[in-house]
Structure formats: structure tokens, C-alpha cells
């Protein structure tokens, strides 16, 4: 394992890693359709997320021109509103901006503030520039810099998104640590040469036994503790090891 002296910049995924996307969408749908039962709300959250994943994949595969998350979220919101019988344009518009009002995980705000005293910290998100600005303000996330994949008209795990972070960091990729709750995201970062750390979240994508990340952690506090101690490693046994 390589020491903290090798890490110059830490890059964080945002959606799902530092903010609770599922809870935020659920709250927005409940607000828009207050008489709907919990089963329906849960189904609509799933449909929203499936729509976003499907459309982002279509863009990555070249089956759709690039559209930012504001466009894709608005499509999802209109579909959910129609199913929920919501036809007030102002309500639908507010629902479409649900991704700008996601709550942070309990350890995100303090963890970022603590880490930022030690190392440069970058956010790297699918969220559009405008959505990311408003999401950061709502959740209280403080960065040295926040980067939107909109800048390169791509979605992770496209390599150009990670190269955007490396170019911004201004150092070799092996001195940049990518932190995410999604194993697919970290695999993409590894392909570009970044160091990788998985942080477990309830709605994340956990690693498999074959994933060789630089560290796996049960929470952001554990990761920051290891970084502060000067070494990136694993806080728990690897699955399948």
C-alpha cells in the first residue's frame, strides 16, 4: 500500500457518495403527490433512477446526443407527474429540480471540511453545472473546486470525465485519489490511472471480490482517518479475499 505522501488531490463522486439521492427524490415526489401511498412513491423513485441511468447509457453508447441532467431529470419528472396525476406546471417544475435538493449523508459536510484542511478536494459529478452549484449550496458541501461532467459532454465512466479531474488537479493520475460509493465509478477511474477508495453507502454499488481498489471503508470518517494517518488502505477485510 502506498502512503499518503503519494496523494496530492482527493476527488469525490457526489450523487450517492456525499448526498442521499434516493431519499431526496422520495421527499420531492411525496411533496408533489402527497396523497400517494409509500409503495407508489418507492416505485416512482425507482423509475426515475432507471430513466436517468438508461438515458445516460444511451448517451455513452452514442444512441442519443448529449443532454445534461437537468434535461433528463425533467423528462423523469414529467413521466412521474403524469403517472401520479399531477398537472400543475409549477409543481412539475419543482419536481424536475429535485436533484438540486438532495440531503447530505451525516458524515459528508464535516468530513469534507476536515479533509479540505489537509488536501485539495474536488467534486466530480454527473450533475449539470447549474444543478451542481445549487446542490452544493443546499447540502452545505464545500469544495476547493466542483467539476461537472457537462464540461466534457459525457457521463462517467467515460474516461474524459476522469481526465477532467486529473487535468484540474495538475498532477499525475496516480497522485489523485477518487472516492466513490459506486464500484463501477471506481473501475472507470482506475482505467485512467487514478487511485481509488470505496466508501460504503446504503444505496451504493459495492465492490466484488475481483475489484482491486486502494481502500475500502465503511464510512467517510474511516477514510479521512486513514488519510490523516498517512496511509490509504482497507478498513475491513476484502470481500472474496
- Mean pLDDT in residue range 97-109: 97
Helix (H, G, I), strand (E, B) or coil at 143: coil
Task: Classify residue 205 by its DSSP letter.
Answer: B
- For every residue of 20-54, which 3-state class applies, written as one string? CHHHHHHHHHHHHCCCCCHHHHHHHHHHHHHHHHH
CB contact at 8 A, 202 and 182: no
CATH of domain 4-20+103-229: 3.40.50.1000
The whole-number pLDDT of residue 57 equals 97
pLDDT digits (tens, 9 = 90+) for 187-236: 999 999 999 999 999 988 999 989 999 999 999 999 998 887 765 555 44
- Mean pLDDT in residue range 94-100: 98
Helix (H, G, I), strand (E, B) or coil at 91: helix
Residues 6+ apart with CB under 8 A from 136: 123, 142, 143, 146
Residue 237 scores a pLDDT above 60: no
Cα(146)–Cα(143) distance, integer angstroms = 6
- Mean pLDDT in residue range 91-106: 98
Q: How many residues does the chain have?
A: 241
Helix or strand holding residue 228 (H, E): helix 220-229
Residues 6+ apart with CB under 8 A from 180: 12, 13, 17, 186, 189, 196, 197, 198, 199, 204
Q: Where are the domains of the chain?
A: 4-20+103-229, 21-100
Mean pLDDT value across the chain: 92
Query: Out of 43-57, 59-73, 169-183, 220-234, which region has the weakest mean confidence (pLDDT)?
Result: 220-234
The whole-number pLDDT of residue 240 equals 32
Q: How many CA atoms lie within 13 A of 103 on its CB side?
A: 10
The whole-number pLDDT of residue 229 equals 73
pLDDT digits (tens, 9 = 90+) for 121-171: 999 999 999 999 999 999 999 999 999 999 999 999 999 999 999 999 999
Cα(140)–Cα(101) distance, integer angstroms = 11
Task: Classify residue 119 by its DSSP letter.
Answer: S
Helix or strand holding residue 146 (H, E): strand 145-148
Residue 11 scores a pLDDT above 70: yes
- Mean pLDDT in residue range 25-50: 97
The whole-number pLDDT of residue 54 equals 98
The whole-number pLDDT of residue 89 equals 98
Intra-chain end-to-end CA distance of the chain, in Å:
16
Amino acid at each position: 500500500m502506498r502512503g499518503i505522501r503519494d496523494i496530492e488531490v482527493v476527488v469525490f463522486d457526489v450523487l450517492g457518495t456525499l448526498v442521499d439521492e434516493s431519499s431526496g427524490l422520495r421527499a420531492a415526489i411525496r411533496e408533489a403527490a402527497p396523497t400517494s401511498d409509500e409503495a407508489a412513491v418507492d416505485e416512482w423513485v425507482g423509475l426515475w433512477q432507471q430513466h436517468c441511468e438508461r438515458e445516460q447509457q444511451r448517451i455513452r453508447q452514442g444512441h442519443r446526443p448529449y443532454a445534461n441532467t437537468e434535461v433528463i431529470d425533467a423528462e423523469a419528472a414529467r413521466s412521474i407527474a403524469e403517472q401520479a396525476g399531477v398537472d400543475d406546471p409549477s409543481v412539475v417544475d419543482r419536481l424536475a429540480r429535485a436533484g438540486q435538493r438532495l440531503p447530505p449523508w451525516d458524515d459528508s459536510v464535516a468530513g469534507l471540511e476536515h479533509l479540505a484542511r489537509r488536501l485539495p478536494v474536488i467534486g466530480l459529478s454527473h450533475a449539470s453545472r447549474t444543478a451542481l452549484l445549487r446542490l452544493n449550496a443546499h447540502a452545505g458541501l464545500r469544495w476547493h473546486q466542483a467539476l461537472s461532467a457537462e464540461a466534457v459532454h459525457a457521463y462517467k465512466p467515460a474516461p474524459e470525465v476522469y481526465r477532467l479531474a486529473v487535468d484540474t488537479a495538475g498532477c499525475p493520475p496516480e497522485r489523485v485519489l477518487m472516492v466513490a460509493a459506486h464500484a463501477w465509478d471506481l473501475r472507470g477511474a482506475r482505467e485512467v490511472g487514478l487511485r481509488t477508495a470505496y466508501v460504503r453507502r446504503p444505496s451504493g454499488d459495492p465492490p466484488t471480490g475481483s475489484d482491486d481498489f486502494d481502500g475500502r471503508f465503511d464510512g467517510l470518517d474511516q477514510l479521512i482517518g486513514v488519510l490523516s494517518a498517512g496511509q490509504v488502505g482497507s478498513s475491513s477485510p476484502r470481500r472474496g479475499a
